[in-house]
Amino acid sequence: MRYVCLGYVDAPAWESLPLTERESFRDECRAYAELLAEAGHVVACEALDCEENAATLRIRHGGTAVEPGCLIVGGRTTLRGMLVIEASDMNHAIQLMARHPVVQRGGSVEVRPAATSRTAGRVDGGEKILRKFAGPVETGRSRSTNS
């Protein structure tokens, strides 16, 4: 099954890092994505450019309006990248992403099942899955349990 994983970091903390630390962090993320790819889990992987280089499109007065920047502006967290992975189930996807450098360095990763032909058109977005994940997540640094 495919899962879309969105990586977020604290925007002020990111901006305060020296350029060499940002590059080191990007290298760690690339290395982990390559490790997942070698194991056959990566479908797509992209780091995202800064918000200032984004454009948001909306319908305004019957036409398309192009607004500079991201859809969500002024938030403390910023979307920095995305991975589409193959995993056996949600628990497996969580286990894979728990080791991602974004999580290990205090950021967040949203793991969401990709819509299927059965769920893509549903008003509620898809089938609800039981939110009880199997046991502790091994992160390499500490243990946490999700319930």
pLDDT digits (tens, 9 = 90+) for 88-105: 999 999 999 999 999 999
| pLDDT per position as a tens digit, 25-58 | 999 999 999 999 999 999 999 999 888 899 999 9
For residues 29 and 35, give the distance between their C-alpha atoms in angstroms, rounded to a whole number: 10
The kind and range of the H/E element at 131 are none
Query: Rounded to two decimals, what is the model's pTM?
Result: 0.76
